[in-house]
Structure 1
Amino acid sequence: MRMENVVLAISFMVFLATALHAINVEMKEPIVKSISDGETVELGTIGPGQTLALTVKGTEIGKGGLQANWGVLGVLEVPPGWQGFDSDVYAKNMKATIKADPNAPDGVYVVKLILTECENKTATCEFQQGLGQITFYGKIKISRDVMKTAVPQVDVTTGVGQPARYPVKIENKGEANDIFEISVEGVPAWEFKKRVYVAAGETLNTFYEIVPNEEKEYKPTIIIKSISSDSLMHKYDVHLISKSDVIGDIRATKNGVLLFPSTLEPLYSLMGILGYLIQ
């Protein structure tokens, strides 16, 4: 009985020592969470082709209660068609990135990562600082609903050579920062493309301008798309009438003109003021 008690006591001490020295990882992005070895973490939702950043704290308390540095946060496994990029070595905040397949179907995907004291994610080294390594898994949901857009005003009248301004709203509902491109089809000789940055979880209100070069009625299509994937694209049919008349030109001038001689600057400034008065 005494021998059994000794064995049990030793086993408990080994278990306790292991538990006390277990290292957890402090994740900062895209979620704030303490992660342990072998854990699976929900990393949120992104769209096809978008890039998700994973950031963890680069230092922890190691052997002897001293501050220790992680070597690298590495991406070990990603689904077919995806890409993984390791963090910088010995960074204060370890940031690895995962880029989804631009044509990935909606669904849940799993990636595998490692945080190690070594400089190389696949290397074997002596864990002199007492941190060792931690392997964990991340679940990423792919959804085409991460992008929400609107063009509140679809009917605009302007003068020939004057900008027709359409308001545009872009909401990025996912966990990935992204750049969105606004363009138009259906207006000859107008190929202007506007790019805007929208952070994860943010909404941007901007505008897109079309400058017609002749007196005509147009039925263009405004296109809003993520540069990450053509799968994230919305189209809006709008209406544009360009008229060559003095009142219309004055009203449109409040939105600005593209080019004019410097000698006519006072005249255009006055017309811009009148443009706000004439509705």
Structure 2
Amino acid sequence: MMKLLGVLIVLAVAVNATYLNIDEPIEAKGMVENSTPLNIGVAGPGQTVYIIAERTTIGPDNQIHDPGWDKLAIANIPEGWTAEDSPWYETPMKAKIKIAPNAADGVYSFKAVAVDENNMKGLGNLTIDVNVTVSKNVFTIYVTPNEAEAGVGEPAIYYIDIDNAGAASDTFSITSRGVPAWRFRKDVLVPHAAQVGLPARRTIPYEVLSNEETDTEVYLNVTSLSSDKISREFKVRLKATPSLISDYKATAHGLLVFPLIENPIYSLIAFLSKLFL
């Protein structure tokens, strides 16, 4: 693929044609007018995709212009979508496209236009077609271990692999259900896929804590902050059992876990547990 892109750039120079180099969300060098539409992959409803492009190109004088392009504009977006052109003279150029929150699954198209302000360099404008597939299935999760054991009042740690196959970097919220009174939330940013079909992965530790003895199913949920339609859930198991440390701490709340001998002993244990545990 990279060899082919290199050939396209060489051909563009050879025929005195301007070109556009795309760096993100996927790399596509040597895009020329009437090129095959650029497929940037998949993105979910409500997500924001950034197209980042270089300003360098070749001019009608057969010379490399760096900088050449002055702005990357977005045109012909689908109904309900929004877009922002890159600021003038931004290096590299960065345009933003936000997919409609209610966008149905399917393939959508829009145009990216490299602009030479007032045609000062004789470059004109260069337009390429961009395709994106909208789907709620932009990421997967996997959790280890499937079963974790911890003391009462102590956190069990699960490791969540988030594989983002989408063209949009996104923030995901991790929550859980199944343990009463545990409402811990962790937000994480996961980068977009480097290539179509090559997901970006982040592994996140997530803690679940029970204040009572239990052996229960826990559901770990990962949801995009862009849309609650983009969500995954994974079932694990938690075993919370009494431990010496949790028993020591419990004495501070009046729970006697040993036969009654002397109240001062319990007071001392509670005091030491606060200091050292």
Aligning the two structures, in what range does the TM-score lie when normalised by the shorter sequence? 0.7 to 0.9
Contact 1:158–1:249 (CA under 8 A) maintained in structure 2:
no
Q: How does 1:1-279 map to 2 (within 5 A)?
A: 20-29=15-24, 30-39=26-35, 40-62=37-59, 64=61, 65=63, 67=65, 68-118=67-117, 125=118, 127-199=119-191, 200=193, 201-246=199-244, 267-268=276-277
Q: State TM-score, norm by structure 2.
A: 0.74
Contact 2:159–2:206 (CA under 8 A) maintained in structure 1:
yes
Contact 1:148–1:171 (CA under 8 A) maintained in structure 2:
yes
Distance 2:45 2:179 in 1: 30
Contact 1:155–1:239 (CA under 8 A) maintained in structure 2:
yes
Q: Aligned in 2, Cα 1:78/1:263: closer, same or farther, shift over 3 Å?
A: farther
Q: State TM-score, norm by structure 1.
A: 0.73
For 1:143, the aligned partner's letter is S
Q: 1:167: how far off?
A: 2.1
Residues 49-90 of structure 1, C-alpha deviation per residue, up to 9 Å, x if partnerless?
A: 222221211133436537353221111121122221211211
Aligned length: 233
Distance 1:169 1:42 in 2: 26
Distance 2:160 2:17 in 1: 51
Distance 1:176 1:99 in 2: 10
Contact 2:22–2:28 (CA under 8 A) maintained in structure 1:
yes
SS at match of 1:168: strand
SS at match of 1:145: coil
Contact 2:172–2:225 (CA under 8 A) maintained in structure 1:
yes
SS at match of 2:113: strand
Q: 1:183: how far off?
A: 0.3
Runs of 5+ in structure 2 lacking a partner?
1-13, 194-198, 249-269
SS at match of 2:46: coil
CA-based RMSD of the aligned residues comes to 2.8
Q: 1:43: how far off?
A: 2.0
Contact 1:159–1:249 (CA under 8 A) maintained in structure 2:
no
SS at match of 1:79: coil
Contact 1:38–1:134 (CA under 8 A) maintained in structure 2:
no
For 2:187, the aligned partner's letter is R
Distance 1:42 1:102 in 2: 21
Residues 215-269 of structure 1, C-alpha deviation per residue, up to 9 Å, x if partnerless?
A: 334433211122222222111233223222328889xxxxxxxxxx99769944x
SS at match of 2:228: strand
SS at match of 2:137: helix
Distance 2:113 2:153 in 1: 58
Distance 2:23 2:15 in 1: 23
Contact 2:77–2:111 (CA under 8 A) maintained in structure 1:
yes
Residues 162-190 of structure 1, C-alpha deviation per residue, up to 9 Å, x if partnerless?
A: 10112211111223222222101232322
Distance 1:41 1:177 in 2: 19
